[in-house]
A and B are shown apart, each in its own frame.
Chain A
């Protein structure tokens, strides 16, 4: 249960910046998808 205490502070920080976090982590996979869809998949 002590693990929950360790996780808590990080979860609080993540909750505060959730939208920014999601946007930054989704950017590169979506770019990969977009480029591969428009490039190689269309070949």
Chain B
């Protein structure tokens, strides 16, 4: 079975990497922050400490990025044994880093907005789970009707999968998707900053 002229296994590996980066970054940053904020109540002490909001936000996001990178690289090492045609270059590394950053900030945002632990689970069920299967991870968007394709471009994981796949398989790189990823990162980080400022008042 082949998709766009590539074996399905080589096609799907970058999608699974995007998926791994998404879930581990989101959970690494979000679940931890949610527990600190609502269960241990230790986040309030961070808010009172003489640390700028930007540093606090960056620190909470960096741990998600680190966890996302560790998991993705570990999976990539195993996947490269099965699908050796995958190419790792600077664009792949950049796309992976941006993917981890986007979902880490989304996790921070969700954790700051959540008022109970159930809210995080609801967010995961309503946003992350559909994105897992609709974000172009397991299939090519080129085979979809235009209206559906446009709707799927609204999901950040779609752009992450496309960039990682193009970088890994050596196709023409979707620069506009990279711009889209940067826009999502900016939106999530600014929203997190706004919510954090509101919490620290």
**Minimum CB distance partner of B10 in chain A:** A41
A-B Cβ contacts below 8 A, count:
87
CB distance from B55 to the nearest CB of A (A): 4
Interface size class of A (residues with CB under 8 A): 20 to 34
Chain A contacts for B67, CB-based, 8 A = 14, 21, 25
Q: Does B114 contact A (CB under 8 A)?
A: no
Q: 8 Å CB contacts to B: which residues of A2-43?
A: 2-7, 10-11, 14, 21-22, 25-26, 28-30, 32-33, 36-37, 40-43
Cβ B32 vs Cβ A10 within 8 A: yes
Cβ B71 vs Cβ A7 within 8 A: no
Q: Does B52 contact A (CB under 8 A)?
A: yes
**Minimum CB distance partner of B42 in chain A:** A9
Q: How far is the CA of A41 from the CA of B83 in the complex (A)?
A: 12
Q: How far is the CA of A40 from the CA of B11 in the complex (A)?
A: 12
CB < 8 Å neighbour of A6 from B16, B23, B51, B78: B51
Mark A residues whose CB is within 8 Å of B: 1-7, 10-11, 14, 21-22, 25-26, 28-30, 32-33, 36-37, 40-43
Mark B residues whose CB is within 8 Å of A: 1, 7-9, 12-13, 16-17, 19-20, 23-24, 32, 46, 51-52, 55-56, 58-60, 62-63, 66-67, 70-71, 74-75, 78-79, 82, 138
Identify the 4 closest CB pairs spanning chains A and B, nearest first: A6-B59, A2-B55, A3-B59, A3-B58
